[in-house]
Amino acid sequence: MSTLLNPQDVKWIVLHCSASYYGDVATFNDWHEKKGWNGIGYHWVITSCYPTEDHYRNNQPDMAFDGVIHKGRSEQFRGAHVRGHNWQSIGVVLTGKKGTFSSKQLYSAAKLCTLISLRFPHIESVKGHYEFTDLKTCPDIDMDYFRKWIQPKGVLEGFTTPE
């Protein structure tokens, strides 16, 4: 059983990259369970156009999958995505490696981060995983630039996350 996440403690949204060219919630759930974790560690997954390894290996992109936001671990529970800070953060992963993120993925990430900040009023910032440790480069994007994309609270007409 996962530990509950206290919404009052949530200070950050932490952005990650999967360091893989393909993947979806089921893929990451399997990988994390193989590490001995209690299922997927990220709260949200923003997919690339390659949902599975077969799609990637056969060069068969599914453009309908690109930039789609998928629910991972429930926001009710602590994530397993940034050691020492899971109790005070929401984890979002972009499927991909450095230089491979599509504009759809980045747009979805910015909108999702804005929506999350509306649900968690104590959020101070969106951070990249690398901003918590020198051992990571994830999400392999310029976070100062990315933070400029995040809309002021309340500017999200018609944009919702999956239930």
In a domain? residue 109? yes
20 contacts 97 by C-beta, under 8 angstroms? yes
Which pLDDT belongs to residue 81?
95
In a domain? residue 159? no
Q: What is the CATH number of the domain that holds 104?
A: 3.40.80.10
Token readout for 106 is 């980045």
- The total number of structural domains that make up the chain: 1
Mean pLDDT across 7-30: 95
pLDDT per position as a tens digit, 112-145? 998 998 889 899 999 999 999 999 999 999 998 8
In a domain? residue 160? no
94 contacts 17 by C-beta, under 8 angstroms? yes
Which pLDDT belongs to residue 161?
57
Distance CA 95, CA 20 (A): 7
- Give residue 77's domain range: 7-149
In a domain? residue 144? yes
Q: Is the pLDDT of residue 160 over 60?
A: no
Element (H, E) at 44: strand 44-46
In a domain? residue 162? no
Distance CA 154, CA 146 (A): 18
Q: Average pLDDT over the chain, rounded to whole?
A: 90
pLDDT per position as a tens digit, 77-115? 999 999 999 999 999 999 999 989 999 999 999 999 989
Cα 65 vs. chain centroid, distance in angstroms?
15
Q: Is the pLDDT of residue 2 over 80?
A: no
Distance CA 40, CA 84 (A): 17
Q: Is the pLDDT of residue 20 over 80?
A: yes
Task: Tell me whether the omega of the peptide bond preceding residue 7 falls within 30 degrees of 0, making it cis.
Answer: no
In a domain? residue 161? no
